[in-house]
């Protein structure tokens, strides 16, 4: 089954506002305003195998769709410099901190797709104050497997450069400090679902949901059948953060 990439080129409304969380041109947060009030906000981390040519724009349809569903969605940008993974992880943490300062006391749910899912899972083990849950969508959850399989023509090797695998592989890092949910399509041709299965075996408290016949981009597409599962995962994470079952 060929991957449906239509969401990547779909026109989306502009954000309601944007601001810089630091001094680099990539230090940007875009806010799509929801209507739910004091509930956790959603911080979105885009993918693109950490490559500089892929930025936050392709995730705007998702951010807009979440705002239509009532959620405050904050789409963050981060530096994507091959061989400097620490820049990306530090930028994600700084952007989260900036959103928390803006949003108030309800906390945030961190949602990452693909390489952004990797960065979200990395952040899950950092214990960032104000992050109440992490949802990873088709994540590169095991960098070791990504290296062995040479996914996307060496993307993981380019990302890591000379840095240690153990420092940046979510599967090998410490137990996540917050609840983690992973949604992964079993028809994903870009990031095999095996990577999420490996992560869940190492961190068995993970809630792994495998979506039948779903491809890589279905999880960020408000027009896909998988979208309802994404919204359900967000509702469940918010309920749990608010003391629900």
pLDDT at 114: 98
Q: What pLDDT is attached to residue 1?
A: 59
Q: What is the pLDDT of residue 148?
A: 96
Provide the pLDDT for residue 37: 81
From residue 35, alpha-carbon distances to 115, 223, 244 in Å are: 29, 21, 21
Residue whose tokens read 């009030």:
37
Report residues of the chain scoring pLDDT below 50: none
What pLDDT, on a 0 to 100 scale, did the predictor assign at position 105?
Answer: 81
Can you name the CATH fold of 6-240? Rossmann fold (3.40.50)
Torsion of CA 191, 193, 197, 200, to 10 degrees: 60
The domain limits of the chain are: 6-240
115-125: pLDDT as tens digits: 999 999 999 99
Look at residue 2 in the predicted model and tell me its pLDDT.
76
CA distance 180 to 227: 18
Q: What is the pLDDT of residues 203-215, one digit of tens each?
A: 999 999 999 999 9
Question: Which one, of 215, 161, 159, lies nearest residue 184 by Cα?
Answer: 215
């Amino acid at each position: 089954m060929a991957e449906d990439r239509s969401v990547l080129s779909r026109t989306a409304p502009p954000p309601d506002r944007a601001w810089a969380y630091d001094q680099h041109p990539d230090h940007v947060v875009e806010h799509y305003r929801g209507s739910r009030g004091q509930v956790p906000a959603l911080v979105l981390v885009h993918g693109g195998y950490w490559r500089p040519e892929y930025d936050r724009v392709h995730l705007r349809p998702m951010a807009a769709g979440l705002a239509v569903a009532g959620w405050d969605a904050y789409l963050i940008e981060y530096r994507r410099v091959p061989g400097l993974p620490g820049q990306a992880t530090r930028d994600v943490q700084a952007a989260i901190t900036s959103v928390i300062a803006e949003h108030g006391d309800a906390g945030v749910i961190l949602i990452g797709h693909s390489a952004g899912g990797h960065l979200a899972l990395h952040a899950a083990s950092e214990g960032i104050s104000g992050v109440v849950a992490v949802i990873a969508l088709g994540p590169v959850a095991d960098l070791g497997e990504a290296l062995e399989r040479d996914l996307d023509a060496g993307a993981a090797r380019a990302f890591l450069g000379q840095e240690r695998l153990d420092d940046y592989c979510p599967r090998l890092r410490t137990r996540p400090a917050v609840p983690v949910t992973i949604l992964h399509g079993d028809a994903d041709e870009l990031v095999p679902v095996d990577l999420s299965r490996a992560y869940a075996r190492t961190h068995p408290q993970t809630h792994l949901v495998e979506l039948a016949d779903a491809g890589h981009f279905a999880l960020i597409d408000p027009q896909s059948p998988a979208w309802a599962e994404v919204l359900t995962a967000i509702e469940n994470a918010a309920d749990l953060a608010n003391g629900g079952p």
